[in-house]
A and B are shown apart, each in its own frame.
Chain A
Amino acid sequence: MFSMFKPKPPKEAAPVAEASEKPAAAAVAAEEAPEPAKASWGDRLKAGLSKTRFQLNSLFTGIKVDEALFEDLEAALISADCGVPAAQTLIEQLRARAKRDKIEDGETLKRALADLITDMLRPLERAMNLDRPKPLVVMISGVNGVGKTTSIGKLAKYFQSRGKSVLLAAGDTFRAAAREQLVTWGERNNIAVITQESGDAAAVIFDATQAAKARGIDILMADTAGRLPTQLNLMEEIKKVKRVIAKVDAKAPHEVLLVIDANTGQNAVAQVKAFDDALGLTGLVVTKLDGTAKGGVLCAIANARPKPVYFIGIGEGIEDLRPFKAHEFANAMLGLD
């Protein structure tokens, strides 16, 4: 399932030791066979959920299926940020299924709900195609502080592990020390970062796109400054960045990703719509799923403006990136194993 991390030798993470030096309780357990990543992701989630979960597991086995149970499940969905409409849709479907399959036990009902969530999210489960003419230009967008730069650092590692050469463009010319932050991620990955003294994001990224072409780089990732959709001038600015990239290669950027923080509530839906309207998104990255937030807003997004979720972020370290799996995500949302 997480074969992406398997090909490389376990200790390759050495140069980034300082990054994971943090006294995090849930250290990267990605190297433990046989299903390394799953253990780590599951453990993190369990750690996260143990304090807050609705004690669903223990309470549910053997419990009778009644109205209160449906209400509890609806509450669980709402508390996971599914939003009321998506939660109601799911619970209606669950009622129908409970009737059809004559479900009488709480645990079974909960699994049925996980299946329904999986069905809802499955259209979002898609892998990013890396084998395309080079350079594959990936533009990263999102609101402030969601984890754009960190995700680029992790993605660079992942792309390299798939045998791709990677170049980064420091397109956040606004936030204090944003460039230095990306440069550090470049060092951790042993790759070059194109920077400029100028304050013009489009210029830096234009430069980097040309450099990627000239150097025969496989994948260029362009960082951008965080912006809120209410900042209309900044939304115009990022549109311009996209247009300028297209001047180097009419098909570029080939991927325009939006990074979403799993802690975000219903505003995440507005974010997807606004950035999609402005840029034509090709995919999403959902970060910070290592906390107690469950990212249920993906259900609302699946209904309102579905976009493939290429990756999820589960920590601040370079390895803390996983492909999105609808089934796994649904289980995690309900605190199921």
Chain B
Amino acid sequence: MLDNLTNRLSKVVKTLRGEARLTEANMSDMLREVRLALLEADVALPVVRDLIAKVKEKAQGQEVVGSLTPGQALVGVVHKELAAIIGGETAGLNLAVTPPAVILLAGLQGAGKTTTAGKLAKLIREQYKKKVLTVSCDVYRPAAIKQLQTVSEQAGVDFFPSTPEQKPVEIAQAAVAWAKTHYNDVLIVDTAGRLGIDEAMMAEISALHAALKPAETLFVVDAMLGQDAVNTAKAFHDALPLTGVILTKLDGDARGGAALSVRHITGAPIKFAGVGEKLTGFEVFHPDRMASRILGMGDIMSLVEEAHANIDLEEAQKVAAKLKSGKSFDLEDFKSQIGQISKMGGLAGFVDKLPAQFAQAAQGADMGRAEKDVKRMEGIINSMTRQERAKPELIKAKRKQRIAAGAGVQVQEVNRLLKQFEQMQGMMKQMQKGGLQKMMRGMGRMMGGGGFPGMR
């Protein structure tokens, strides 16, 4: 599995403990790691170069505040810069024109245009409460028109039939006329896939655009695209005034660096994300999450935020105070940590926000069962004596049997819990002053390692 950026940097920064600010010298090794991480995530090389230059400039001289290591401080800068490039605000659709508002979809072969046409149709019908018509100008791919008809039916919108013998511009014009007389507010125009270097096909879509004057011209891009995303994006950007991008197949495990490349080249906002083959697999795009995903950090940032919001501050402070006073992390604290997870929307909610590779480890896990297991863990700790909770090393064979009987579980489960506790304790020891952030990451690692019950 790909290393995430945080892991990569932590290897580099061991030598940098105690440095108070980011300098050219202490950053150069780290920036090399950032560069590698971005390239591994398929961000195009020219875009990576640009980004590294910007990060360098922004980070230079920045103070390493509080509990952060220089590596963490730099990740913060990189993350912020990425999120800024990918786009600050989430942008909706502009349909406020004289009807019909035309939406033109364009992109490479197999990007997901037709499926996206269906998804958009459903979204606009349901959420914008508009009357939608779709039409296919794909007269090349076998059964492409039938495919759009089927997804339009699934979306519950009107479909304007066309045939492979017709010319794309004529089809589109006929559909506009039909939409006008039938009071359709929105017309979604699906087109054939085309390569940026296919001049005739690029001319065709320019002509379509000129004839339709769309309110939205959306570039549909596969999240798995590699380095060539820049060339493709440039070709479409040059041929069409793009008003937005839709990133498809984000339900896969590609890191999606193409999002950055495309955004960098076109400047158009990424408006939606395709996250499944079904018409329901469609979301408003979140630049922040995408930045974390490209860096391989999952939704760590929002996880941390949420942790701050939901975790019982008092509890957390108690643990922190205890650690500071030199006392060790005991089973009582462990239990309270387990309790915190339930407060953050339960395990399912927690796992959702973990970095891809951890979430994947948890994928297929039976969450219902896992939640039960957490309850069982609490039960096991509850049947320990106060002394045992404070000094887990006391728990030997006899005591284990008693505890197991008390909690109504097998002895192996008590062993497992103790092992997990040890892992957690190890983490806590490393955690000298850093707050929750580190702890969360550690917990993710523990889960990724199959530490939590019910997960593989």
Q: Using CB atoms and an 8 Å cutoff, list the residues of chain A in contact with chain B.
A: 18-19, 21-26, 47-48, 51-52, 75, 78-81, 83-84, 143-147, 174-178, 180-181, 183-185, 226, 228-232, 261, 263-268, 270, 288, 290-294, 297, 316
Q: Which residue of A lies closest to B2 (CB)?
A: A266
Are B40 and A79 within 8 A (Cβ)? no
Q: With A25-B199, A144-B112, A145-B109 as given contacts, are A176 and B227 in contact (CB-CB < 8 Å)? A: no
Answer whether residue B232 sits at the interface, using C-beta atoms and an 8 A cutoff: yes
Q: Across chains A and B, which 7 residue pairs bring their CB atoms closest together, nearest first? A: A265-B226, A145-B110, A265-B42, A184-B142, A176-B150, A23-B200, A180-B143
Number of A-B contacts (CB under 8 A): 169
Further pairs besides A147-B110, A267-B252: 18, Cβ < 8 Å: A22-B192, A25-B198, A25-B199, A51-B231, A78-B227, A79-B44, A79-B45, A81-B228, A143-B252, A147-B109, A176-B154, A232-B364, A263-B222, A264-B225, A265-B226, A266-B42, A266-B255, A292-B228
Are B110 and A75 within 8 A (Cβ)? no
Answer whether residue B196 sits at the interface, using C-beta atoms and an 8 A cutoff: yes
Complex CA–CA separation, A259 to B277 (angstroms): 18
Are B147 and A177 within 8 A (Cβ)? yes
Complex CA–CA separation, A29 to B7 (angstroms): 51
Are A230 and B252 within 8 A (Cβ)? yes
Complex CA–CA separation, A19 to B36 (angstroms): 42
Are B226 and A293 within 8 A (Cβ)? yes
Q: Using CB atoms and an 8 Å cutoff, list the residues of chain B in contact with chain A.
A: 36, 39-42, 44-45, 108-112, 114, 118, 140-144, 146-147, 149-151, 154, 164, 192, 195-201, 204, 222, 224-229, 231-232, 249, 251-255, 257-258, 277, 360, 363-364
Hey, which chain B residues are within 8 Å of A268, CB to CB?
224, 226
Hey, which chain B residues are within 8 Å of A84, CB to CB?
36, 39-40
Hey, which chain A residues are within 8 Å of B360, CB to CB?
230
Q: Which of A83, A144, A231, A291 contacts B195 (CB 8 A)?
A: A291
Hey, which chain A residues are within 8 Å of B44, CB to CB?
79
Hey, which chain B residues are within 8 Å of A266, CB to CB?
40-42, 226, 254-255
Complex CA–CA separation, A184 to B142 (angstroms): 6
Q: With A143-B252, A267-B253 as given contacts, are A174 and B277 in contact (CB-CB < 8 Å)? A: yes
Q: Which of A25, A175, A178, A265 contacts B224 (CB 8 A)?
A: A265
Are B225 and A263 within 8 A (Cβ)? yes
The listed residue with most B CB atoms (<10 A of its CB), out of A83, A183, A264, is A264
Q: With A177-B143, A264-B225 as given contacts, are A24 and B198 in contact (CB-CB < 8 Å)? A: yes
Q: Is chain A's binding surface mostly helix, strand, loop or mixed?
A: loop
Q: Which of A176, A265, A297 contacts B151 (CB 8 A)?
A: A176
Q: Which of B197, B222, B231, B232 contacts A47 (CB 8 A)?
A: B197
Hey, which chain B residues are within 8 Å of A18, CB to CB?
164
Q: Which of A184, A228, A292 contacts B249 (CB 8 A)?
A: A228
Are B110 and A265 within 8 A (Cβ)? no
Q: With A147-B110, A181-B141 as given contacts, are A265 and B363 in contact (CB-CB < 8 Å)? A: no
Q: Which residue of B lies closest to A317 (CB)?
A: B140
Are B228 and A291 within 8 A (Cβ)? yes
Are B42 and A177 within 8 A (Cβ)? no
Q: Which residue of B lies closest to A52 (CB)?
A: B231
Are A292 and B197 within 8 A (Cβ)? yes
A-B CB contact pairs (8 Å), 10 listed: A78-B45, A143-B249, A145-B109, A181-B143, A183-B143, A228-B252, A261-B224, A265-B225, A270-B254, A290-B195
Complex CA–CA separation, A47 to B195 (angstroms): 12
The listed residue with most A CB atoms (<10 A of its CB), out of B114, B197, B227, B251, is B227
Are B196 and A291 within 8 A (Cβ)? yes
Q: Which of B118, B154, B228 contacts A263 (CB 8 A)?
A: B228
**B440 to nearest A CB, angstroms?**
23
Hey, which chain B residues are within 8 Å of A181, CB to CB?
141-144, 147
Complex CA–CA separation, A263 to B231 (angstroms): 11
Hey, which chain A residues are within 8 Å of B118, CB to CB?
176
Complex CA–CA separation, A316 to B199 (angstroms): 15
